C-alpha cells in the first residue's frame, strides 16, 4: 500500500510517496519546489496571485505524479500559510481544485504532533523522553513525548526562519547588530517555554537539514555558534556555493540557527538532525487509517 503527501509550507511545496516496508516507512518518491509563500505573506500579508498560480501548478503536477505511482490515498496539508495568510481561503480552494482532494490546514498542534511522529518513527530505539523541534518558515513547534505515551508537551510559536529573516535580518549578510536584535526577539518569543527534561532531542525541517552540510548531524552550542558565524560571514550565495545549499535556504539560515540555538539552550541536550518529520508523520497516519478501514 502506498500513500502520497503534498506538504505546502512557507518555503516549499514537497511531495512524499511512501509505503511500509518491514514495519518502517519507506520513501518511494520525493520531490520539492521552492516557492517562498512565506515571503509574500511577510511583504504583502497574503500570497500574491502569481504565487497562487505557481503553487497550483506545482500541486497539480505532484498530485498527478503521486497517482502515477498507484497510491491509495493522497493528502494535501498546509502549514503556516494556511494559518497566517489573509487569503488562506482562496489558497485552500486553489489547492483543492489542483489536487482534486480535500485540503487539510494543519493547526500548530497538528503540525507539531505529525513532526514528532515522523521523526520518532525513524529511530531504532526510542528514549524514555524525546524532544522534537520543527522549524518552518513561518512557525516553530517544540514537542516532547515519552516512549509509552507519545507527545505530552507541545508549544508553538508564530516565528520561523522566513518571518525572522524578513523582519530583522533583511541585509545580506546581516550585521552583528541585526543578529543581536533577532536573537533578542527569539528569546522574547519563546521565553515562556519551559520544556520538561528530555534524554534526546531531534531537529527537523529545512534549517536542520541544511546545517548537516555545514557542521554535521549534531547541533550543540559550539556547532550552532560556528554555523551562525559562517552563515553571516558573507553573502548567502557564497555560503550556498561553499556548502551546497539552496541560495534561498542559505538566505534564511541565520534566522533558523538563532531559533534552534534558543531551543537547544532550553533543552540542554544537543540537537540531532532528523531526516524525517512532518510529511512522514502524515504518511504514517494515512497508512494506519487505511489499515484500520
Crossing angle of helices 108-121/278-292, nearest 10°? 80
58: region left, alpha or beta (phi > 0 left; psi from -120 to 50 alpha) = alpha
* pLDDT one-digit tens code per residue, 265-283: 999 999 999 999 999 999 9
Pairing of strands 140-146, 73-78: unpaired
The mean pLDDT of the chain is 96
Least confident of 23-27, 76-80, 228-232, 271-275: 23-27
Predicted local confidence at residue 23, as pLDDT: 85
Write out the three cell numbers for 185. Answer: 526577539
Containing 262, the helix (H) or strand (E) segment is helix 247-267
CA distance readout (Å), 30 to 13, 16, 26, 243? 11, 5, 11, 22
Question: Residue 258: which pLDDT band, with cuts at 50, 70 and 90?
Answer: very high
Query: So what's the pLDDT on residue 22?
Result: 85
Q: Which pTM does this prediction carry? A: 0.95
pLDDT of residue 90: 97
Strand order in the sheet with 103-105: 24-34, 12-21, 2-8, 73-78, 103-105
Rounded Cα–Cα distance for residues 53 and 50 (Å):
5
- The pLDDT of residue 290: 85
Average pLDDT value for residue range 68-88: 97
Say what the pLDDT of residue 291 is: 84
Q: Is the pLDDT of residue 183 over 90?
A: yes
Report the pLDDT averaged over residues 69-84. Answer: 96
pLDDT value at 24 more than 80 = yes
Q: What would the pLDDT profile of 107-125 be if each residue is shown by its tens digit?
A: 999 999 999 999 999 999 9
Could you tell me the CA-to-CA distances from 212 to 79, 157, 204, 230 in Å, in that order? Answer: 24, 24, 11, 13
Quote the pLDDT of residue 66.
97
Model pLDDT, residue 72 = 93
Considering just the CA atoms, what is the radius of gyration of the chain in Å?
18
pLDDT tens for each residue of 128-139: 999 999 999 999
As a whole-number percent, the residues of the chain with pLDDT over 90 amount to 96
Amino acid at each position: 500500500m502506498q500513500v502520497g503527501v503534498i506538504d505546502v509550507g512557507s518555503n516549499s511545496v514537497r511531495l512524499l510517496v511512501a509505503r511500509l516496508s518491514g514495519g518502517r516507512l519507506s520513501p518511494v518518491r520525493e520531490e520539492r519546489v521552492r516557492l517562498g509563500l512565506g515571503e509574500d505573506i511577510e511583504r504583502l500579508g497574503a500570497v500574491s496571485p502569481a504565487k497562487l498560480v505557481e503553487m497550483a501548478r506545482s500541486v497539480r503536477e505532484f498530485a498527478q505524479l503521486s497517482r502515477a505511482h498507484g497510491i491509495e490515498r493522497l493528502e494535501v496539508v498546509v502549514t503556516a500559510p494556511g494559518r497566517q495568510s489573509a487569503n488562506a481561503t482562496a489558497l485552500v480552494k486553489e489547492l483543492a481544485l489542483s489536487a482534486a482532494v480535500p485540503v487539510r490546514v494543519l493547526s500548530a498542534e497538528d503540525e507539531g504532533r505529525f513532526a514528532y511522529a515522523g521523526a520518532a518513527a525513524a529511530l531504532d530505539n526510542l528514549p524514555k523522553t524525546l524532544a522534537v523541534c520543527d522549524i518552518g518558515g513561518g512557525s516553530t513547534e517544540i514537542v516532547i513525548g515519552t516512549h509509552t505515551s507519545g507527545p505530552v508537551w507541545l508549544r508553538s510559536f508564530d516565528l520561523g526562519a522566513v518571518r525572522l529573516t524578513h523582519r530583522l535580518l533583511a541585509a545580506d549578510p546581516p550585521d552583528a547588530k541585526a543578529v543581536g536584535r533577532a536573537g533578542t526577539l527569539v528569546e522574547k518569543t519563546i521565553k515562556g517555554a519551559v520544556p520538561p527534561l528530555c534524554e534526546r532531542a531531534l531537529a527537523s525541517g529545512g534549517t536542520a537539514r541544511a546545517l548537516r552540510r555545514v557542521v554535521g548531524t549534531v547541533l550543540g552550542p559550539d556547532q550552532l555558534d560556528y554555523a551562525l558565524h559562517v552563515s553571516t560571514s558573507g553573502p548567502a550565495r557564497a555560503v550556498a556555493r561553499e556548502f551546497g545549499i539552496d541560495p534561498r535556504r542559505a538566505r534564511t539560515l541565520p534566522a533558523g540557527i538563532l531559533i534552534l540555538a534558543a531551543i537547544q539552550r532550553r533543552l540542554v541536550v544537543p540537537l540531532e538532525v532528523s531526516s524525517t518529520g512532518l510529511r512522514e508523520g502524515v504518511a504514517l497516519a494515512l497508512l494506519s487509517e487505511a489499515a484500520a478501514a
